Amino acid sequence: MKTGLIVGKFAPLHQGHQYLIETALAEVERLVVLVYDCPEVIEVPLKVRVDWIRELYPEVEVVEGYGAPTEHGDSPEITRRNIEFVKSSLLCPITHVFSSEWYGEILARELGAENFLVDKERVRVSVSGSEIRQNPEKYKNFLNPVVLRDFLKKNNDSR
């Protein structure tokens, strides 16, 4: 059975993430999405971000990544910690890793899986979660109404 993996913060879940998920769903029979807890990046709780994916993609197996590493970067030590976290979070063998980031190739190799790089240059969907967090009003059209409701509410609550 082809089993895919996507790893991310989904902070917030946007059209680029949705394109990644939909691409993976078209390629595999089973898709696991591991969502990192990241309170230092976004105030929307992990449970809410996980529920966005569960509501929009009920066929996806979502894993709540509590205790995920918080360091960012591509140093060997940070990469190792993240790979170990992913490995410890999985309950099944992975055959395909889907990402639009540099780490996809490394993670796929470590899991003995095939790497699928999806829209790395952000041509298909030209936005990042960082851009949306910095200017929610400007980029709100990249968010599903389910996500927009919770994301804007949390942003307004934190002001």
Question: pTM of this prediction?
Answer: 0.94
**pLDDT bucket at 152, cuts 50 / 70 / 90:** confident
* Cα 43 to Cα 70: distance, rounded to the nearest angstrom: 14
Q: What is the pLDDT of residue 130?
A: 93
Give residue limits of the domains in the chain.
3-157
The arithmetic mean of pLDDT across residues 105-134, rounded, is 94
Q: Which of 60-64, 68-72, 93-97 has the lowest mean pLDDT?
A: 68-72
Q: What is the pLDDT of residue 73?
A: 84
User: Please, what is the average pLDDT of the chain?
Assistant: 93
**Protein fold of 3-157:** Rossmann fold (3.40.50)
